[in-house]
A and B are shown apart, each in its own frame.
Chain A
Amino acid sequence: MLLRLVVSLAALLSLRLGSGAHGKTPGPGSALSTPAPLGCVGRQTRLRSVLNSPLKFCIPREPHLAGPLGRGAPITSSVPGWGSPFWQDWVSGSPFVEVEEADGEWGVDREYSVNGSCYNSSHQHHPCPWGWALPALVLTPFSPGTELPGPPSVWFEAEFFHHVIHWMPIQNQSKNTYYEVAIMRYGKELWKTIPNCSQTLAQSCDLTTVTLDLYHSNGYRAKVRAVDGIQHSNWTLASTRFSRDEVTLTVGSVKLEMQNGFIFGTIQPPRPKMAPVGDTYESIFSHFREYEVAIRKVPGNYTFTNEKVNHESFSLPISGEVGEFCVRVKPSVGSRINKAAWSKEECIVLTKQQYFTVTNLSMFFAFLVLLCGALAYCLTLHLYVQRRGKLPAVLVFEKPNPIIPISQLPCPETEDTIHPLDEEAFPKVFPELRNSDLHGSTDSGFGSTKPSLQTEEPQFLLPVLHPQASGTLEKGESPELGDSCSNGSSNSTDSGICLQEPSLSSSTGPTWEQQVGSDSQGQDDSGIGLVQNSERQPRDTQGGSALTHVSPLGPEVPGEEDTAMAAFQGYLKQIRCTEEKAIKAGCLEEESPLTDGLGPKFRTCLDAEAGWPPPALAKGYLKQDLPGMTLAPSETISGQWNQPLEEWPLLGLTSCGDLGTSDWSFAHDLAPLDCVAAPSGLLGSFNADLVTLPLMSSLHSNE
């Protein structure tokens, strides 16, 4: 009886001791009841691992594992770093065992072994590998991380493709402490440990190579824990998800150059080497890139003008300032909220504006070349035009006598001797003319016995000469003329044209038609040429008469020539002068009424031309080519003869003639021309009608 009690007590004691060694004693009723497992949601449930929180999963209790007391079987784990297996008690009668990991975390890659049976997190039972077929060992609770603290904080400091994770070190770190970094792309379920970051006593790690698609994804989560030997701390997560919003914007470089009082800056975006081929700053931040530019003058401070430019270039006006200027740039993206950092400042030294730059010099020389070319062209043109406009030598007139008044100089003058006209001679002329036989003739005075007249008249163009008178004149003239010429009369209103050869008179007959025609083209020549054509026509008559008058008036020099040349001796050289024509016209116009005799008016005219000393008369040619012109004075005369004739005709005649002489005397160039052409008052009213010629003769006869 005593033996049965001892055996039962020994069994009880052994059981007690066994349970006590394991630390736990199953309850008396635990083997009988089967309470529901805590937190187990079924064998098929796949629980997600949660960091820093206890993960419970249930291991199915194998029937053969159930002991008498329902204690749980020991569980081993394939997690590296585990020191020793831990012991888990079965809930008696429970078909599942609740396993709780005190530290670390469960992962899909972890296996658990219970009495030779292996389980992974999916709770699918599969036979353990051979290495695992070991008798179950008692696992003691193992929580190495509880003693080692984790990093207090973890954060990212990132720039464009330069992503660096930072953490604060733990307080009691030893020289063997290193930190593990794990990252996970947000949305994926795999944490990836970065081995390069596990450097001793490091406090940061470059994660660029593993986060290259940061700008195309939703971000990364990162965590860090401290490891010292077999101890490791809890994971410390980065507070926020690391995305491109946390990238600090920077610029690569800024280049400055000075141009024309401006500082031109070029901004280079960052070009990191780690960036993939297609990912550039411009492609990732494609819109609304802005740059804030700040400038300062050394040694002043930056003035924040808050001026932003939208391009990778800018220009700052610096007019007239010298010294060193420093510029820095801060980028930003208008549509993003990224932080930005100022660039390194770039400095440029401004000196005084260089005027002699290559550009300026080249422009200056180009301008010079153009100017010279233009000048050369103008000169060439001017010379060429001058040459073209140069008059032939034949028509070039000699310079006038310096005695000539300046007022008359504009007109080209000849070098012929000029016989000043004596004003006093004029009054003489008129009475003489009245009394002379010439009154009866249309002769203006050519061929008169009065030498004075003869001397004077030959100078004038007498358009109203009657052929007969001219003939008479011829006869009378020549000797007298010759005398006059030979005399070299002092009271010469003579223009200086003298015919020294009587033969010339005979040759006065010839028409100077030819010359008229030839000279009527508007030459300077008066156009009076003596031709040995005795034919006389009415037109020619006048001209001839003029010629007759003229012929003896031929210049002395040509008079000496032979008869062939005598025809040309009759030229009354006349210098055309438009100005003086006008003047004469005005003058003549005044006298056109010819009221009280030409003399006073003439004098007034002469006075009008005040300041004109009796100049030397040039030997000019009277232009006698236009019969109208020649008739003009005749018309005047005829008209005048209708009036008191005694005074008029000769006045009329001499008006022109005297005017002519006066012109000769004063202007020595235009008188007959003026008479003929210019005097608008006189000429305008005249009719080129030769009928008036007989009228003059009749008038003469009346007298």
Chain B
Amino acid sequence: MNVQHVSLWLLGAMLILYSVHTHGLRRCQVSVDTRHIEESFQEIKRAIQAKDIFQNVTILSTSEALQSIKPSDVCCMTKNVLAFYVDRVFKDHQEPNPRVLRKISSIANSFLYMQKALQRCQEQKRCHCRQEATNATKIIHDNYDQLEVRSAAVKSLGELDVFLAWIDKNNQETSTA
């Protein structure tokens, strides 16, 4: 009886470990130190957010965009928003202040690194984009288009803390899951 019990326990433990492993594999975890990006942003936050004059408009904070994303869509959404920033926001923004420009450049480089990490997940078919994620991405782009380009870019840069907080929250949830 003892041998049977031991073998059953071992089998159960192996199954649990396997499931956890596969569950972890299914999710693409991006191990990025967002603290570095947050520190860079804090130094330019005042300068950038002061330029944002459209106070009751938001690009990322709408309820349809980031707040309603399910955990399974986190990878796709993160990838899309990173592409949005790298392809549109950083290119559209014209920063005259060199100190601010340097910080923005470091943030952009960190985003590029995150994009490459997510690229690996996508190649392993672990970053599938569902319709909800695609719709949320479209809303963000539409919000961006509602405003003038320069104003939209400034506003998007001012909302970087929203994006970083969202990444942190999802990373914590992934690590605790």
Which residues of A pack against B, CB within 8 Å? 48-53, 184, 186-191, 218-219, 221, 223, 237, 239-241, 243, 245, 286-287, 335-337
Contacts and interface: CB of A to CB of B under 8 A. Distances in A.
A239 B50 contact: yes
Given A239-B49, A287-B172, A337-B38, A184 B56 contact: yes
Given A335-B35, A335-B168, A241 B49 contact: yes
Contacts of A286: 172
Given A51-B55, A184-B55, A240 B50 contact: yes
A48 B162 contact: no
A155 to B, nearest CB: 10
B39 A337 contact: yes
A187 B59 CA distance: 8
B53 A52 contact: yes
B54 interface: yes
A52 B39 CA distance: 31
Does more than half of chain B's interface fall in helix, strand or loop, or is it mixed?
Answer: helix
Contacts of A337: 35, 38-39, 42
A189 B56 contact: yes
Interface string B44-58: 011001100111111
Contacts of A287: 172
A513 to B, nearest CB: 69
Interface size, B (range): 20 to 34
18 contacts: A48-B54, A52-B53, A53-B53, A186-B55, A187-B62, A188-B56, A191-B55, A191-B56, A218-B60, A218-B161, A218-B162, A218-B165, A240-B46, A241-B161, A286-B172, A337-B35, A337-B38, A337-B39
Interface of B: 35, 38-39, 42, 45-46, 49-50, 53-58, 60-63, 158-159, 161-162, 165, 168, 172
A221 B159 CA distance: 12
A219 to B, nearest CB: 8
Nearest to B151: A50
Q: Which of B42, B60, B158, B172 neighbours the largest number of chain A CB atoms within 10 Å of its CB?
A: B42
Contacts, number: 64
Contact of A50 (B54, B62, B162, B165): B54
Contacts of A219: 161-162
Given A48-B54, A336-B38, 10 more contacts: A48-B56, A48-B57, A51-B53, A52-B53, A53-B53, A184-B56, A187-B62, A241-B158, A335-B168, A336-B35
A337 B36 CA distance: 10
Contacts of A48: 54, 56-57
Nearest to A53: B53
A593 B78 CA distance: 113
Nearest to B49: A240
A221 B155 CA distance: 13
Given A218-B61, A218-B165, A240-B46, A50 B35 contact: no
A669 B108 CA distance: 113
Given A186-B58, A337-B42, A245 B161 contact: yes
Nearest to A217: B61
A410 B54 CA distance: 116
A240 B42 CA distance: 10
Contacts of A49: 56
Contact of A239 (B35, B38, B46): B46
Contacts of B172: 286-287
B30 to A, nearest CB: 15
A152 B172 CA distance: 40
A218 B52 CA distance: 15
A544 B172 CA distance: 109
A223 B162 CA distance: 21
Nearest to B38: A337
B136 to A, nearest CB: 14
Contacts of A53: 53
A189 B61 CA distance: 12
A183 to B, nearest CB: 10
A237 to B, nearest CB: 7
Contacts of A191: 55-56
A223 to B, nearest CB: 8
Nearest to B35: A335
A354 B96 CA distance: 69
Nearest to B43: A337
Contacts of B158: 241
Of B49, B56, B61, most A-chain CB atoms within 10 Å:
B56
Contacts of B45: 240, 245
B161 to A, nearest CB: 6
Nearest to A286: B172
Given A186-B61, A187-B61, A187-B62, A245 B56 contact: no
Contacts of B56: 48-49, 184, 188-191
Contacts of B39: 337
A237 B38 contact: no
Contacts of A240: 45-46, 49-50
Contacts of A52: 53
Q: Indicate the member of A50, A184, A190 with the most B CB atoms within 10 Å.
A: A50
A358 B18 CA distance: 55
Contacts of B159: 218
A190 B55 CA distance: 10
B34 to A, nearest CB: 8
Given A218-B165, A243-B161, A287-B172, A237 B42 contact: no
Contacts of A190: 56
In the A-B complex, the 3 residue pairs with the smallest Cβ-Cβ separation, listed nearest first, are A187-B61, A189-B56, A187-B58
B70 to A, nearest CB: 18
Contact of B55 (A218, A237, A239, A336): A237
A245 B49 CA distance: 14
Nearest to A222: B55
Nearest to B58: A187
A218 B162 CA distance: 6
A184 to B, nearest CB: 6
B53 A50 contact: yes
A187 B162 CA distance: 11
B164 to A, nearest CB: 10
Most A CB within 10 A of own CB, among B38, B46, B53, B61: B61
B64 to A, nearest CB: 11
A338 B1 CA distance: 58
B109 to A, nearest CB: 19
Contacts of B53: 50-53
A223 B55 CA distance: 10
A337 to B, nearest CB: 5
Contacts of B50: 237, 239-240
B40 to A, nearest CB: 10
A189 B54 CA distance: 10
A190 B162 CA distance: 20
Contacts of A187: 58, 61-63
Contacts of A239: 46, 49-50
A15 B71 CA distance: 73
Contacts of B165: 218, 243
A219 B163 CA distance: 13
Contacts of A189: 56-57
Contacts of B60: 218
A571 to B, nearest CB: 72
Nearest to A240: B49
B45, B55, B57 interface centre (most CB from chain A within 10 Å): B55
A54 to B, nearest CB: 13
